[in-house]
Amino acid sequence: MMTSIENQNEKFNEVYSALDNLSKSWKIDPIIRDIHLGRRHDLQDFTIKINQVTFHIPYLSEISKYMIWDCLWPECHNCCNRQGRLPLTTSDISEISENLGYIHRSEFLRNETYVATWENYSADEEAGIPLITTLSMINLKRKPTETETENGKPLPCRFLDDAGACTLHPSKPGVCYLYPFYSWSENYKNRISIHASFQLTGDCPGYLLTDSVDDMMHGLEKYSKIIYDYTMKMNSTIRQGFARVDFSN
């Protein structure tokens, strides 16, 4: 098992190589590249609550800029070309099995999915300690022969067509709607709060620097609903025993 430092080094190398790959097709601002690689020392966490979701937006104090995002589809479909994993909620399982023409969900699960366990490394900023989250979930295969050993490795998704569209749309996995955000919920005195931030994997060319978060307000409004809905479905999936999350440090 890798140590936290080894994992951080591996993550850095993965993002570095993803950015190099992305730079072949898109112009990536060097400042945005540095944010992805954790090289900015003036990076601050700007929070803004929209509807029921608290967004964590990168803010650069030395240059007074925010990093925001706007999707470049249909010119870009890099997130589907370099798909990392497709974990399914119970709602996804119902919708996608029907979309693919399965009458019995057990058959869908047997043919189209596999169970994987993986670790996410983050930090409890307040306590200053590393946090390891271990997740076990049912994943949709991104290629017909995919196995657990490929979980987390970028692959072109089998549902991406030649025009750059998703053949599962609109019944595609919730994580596809969520991208490039990831979300989590916090429970304080029996009150759940939902949070979201950008996935900085180096695979998305849609990030830009701006003077004001207002430039992304429409997107944040739209995504607050998607994120709230997805996080509730994820929590329900865990409660129903179709996913397992363990925390350690």
Enumerate residues 6+ apart whose C-beta is below 8 A from 83: 142, 154, 155, 156, 157
Q: How far is the CB of 165 from ligand SF4 (least distance, A)?
A: 8
Record the tokens describing residue 11, joined without a space: 């993550």
| Residues 87 and 102: beta-carbon distance below 8 Å | no
Site for ligand SF4 (CB under 6 A): which residue of 33, 36, 65, 77?
77
Burial of 121 (0-12, 13-18, 19+ CB in 10 A): middle
Indicate whether 205 belongs to the interface with ligand SF4 (CB under 6 A).
Answer: yes
Site for ligand SF4 (CB under 6 A): which residue of 19, 176, 194, 216?
176
Q: How far is the CB of 245 from ligand SF4 (least distance, A)?
A: 22
Record the tokens describing residue 37, joined without a space: 């690689």
Nearest alpha-carbon partner for 216 in 17, 92, 66? 66
Nearest CB to ligand SF4, comparing residues 204 and 220: 204
Q: Which stretch binds ligand SF4 (CB under 6 A): 12-20, 54-62, 146-154, 197-205?
A: 197-205
Nearest alpha-carbon partner for 183 in 155, 134, 223? 223
Backbone angles phi, psi at 40, to 5 degrees: -95, 125
Site for ligand SF4 (CB under 6 A): which residue of 59, 206, 229, 233?
206
| Interacting residues with ligand SF4 between 3 and 42 (CB under 6 A) | none
Q: How far is the CB of 142 from ligand SF4 (least distance, A)?
A: 7
| Residues 78 and 203: beta-carbon distance below 8 Å | yes
| Interacting residues with ligand SF4 between 37 and 76 (CB under 6 A) | 71-73, 76
Indicate whether 160 belongs to the interface with ligand SF4 (CB under 6 A).
Answer: yes
Contact residues: ligand SF4, CB under 6 A: 71-73, 76-80, 83, 157, 159-160, 166, 168, 172-173, 176, 179-180, 203-206
